[in-house]
Structure 1
């Protein structure tokens, strides 16, 4: 399948899985449009890979509208923007944290997908990749805000598979386990030590590991749809169970 000059859009592309995916898709021959709030980082990556950097805040409908208006054609969309805030019991839930998680993970994915889906279908071989998490089908103590948002994001994505059955567009959900990125720093409000402890005692996945899987999925022949891919470190059994070596 030729990817030369085909456009791939990656949200949350300023760091972590998004940045790694942008680089990997560029290596596969896509012209990558990178979207995120941190435009300085986007610009550096775009210059490196010959892509296009555009500001994007998926929680802001006007920002999504302006971003997508600058993408006249699109064959691949990678919904990667998202994240977690806090690690509190339901009884101690901070509503603003929940609101941010639902806006970013669920409504953000909805807004970008809704805007670009007609262009993806018009390409004749569109592909929507949504990066969810093992939290999209598992729950764990103190994580209800994030797990509920990821469950909803997965439901949104999986519904699209049925609604557009028979049309020239594919849908792949990537559900990573523990990936060492800025994810935990964001969750813990910039506490680097607490974030580092999440990945201590085992070898976590890297952003490149997930980018490789995404690239594989979107470069399969047009009749092949990889519906749901779960990727965990060897040392991870479930969202809360790891084999750690002290």
Structure 2
């Protein structure tokens, strides 16, 4: 905690955050005070938070899979439920060879998923891509400690061509919110995160369709595409994966309300 922190200060910040509607006001107050360098810095951070900015954008980082992931303003904030996708990917890698696998983090945002996979799988060769320049700049900082490379462009287009047929894990955190539902998202998301990271088209699955159509050509035999989807979308998503030549399976985690679809490339593709 900084030198200027006092119980009275923490109590005051907590009350201010609670009045603004922050559900976890006490925890947020402690985090903001810890992150502030000066009283003026703290005041500015509290002002931004009470104005509706995501806490992660205010402090500049998010906790994800025991890592501290840098999150710049406007960049998609990694969700804790996405840790389930990471666990599923690690489990698949353990069954198929694990260390040394080629990992691609598509629609990478901050690069949180790729960084978490690289941390969990020693020797991983990590590549990531996103269409949003702000996300790419942010992701490069997060994957640099793992030797990862980040490319800017639309889905697979910017990736090195020699990765075709060699990818062991293709984690695609595609947007899956239907266009008409984006306006129903919490203000923290709809007002402060890039729309391209949220809007999945009329049924929320447009980007997934594009990914699944090409995924088999990039995956190594036995490699897997993994992505999140809404529970109601899972059946349609499974059909999309199957149409792409992959063998789908669905896993859910009730505690985090997460649904992850895995599509495995058969050896004969």
TM-score interval w.r.t. the shorter chain?
0.3 to 0.5
Quick one: higher RCO (CA 8 Å, sep 6+), 1 or 2? 1
Larger radius of gyration: 2
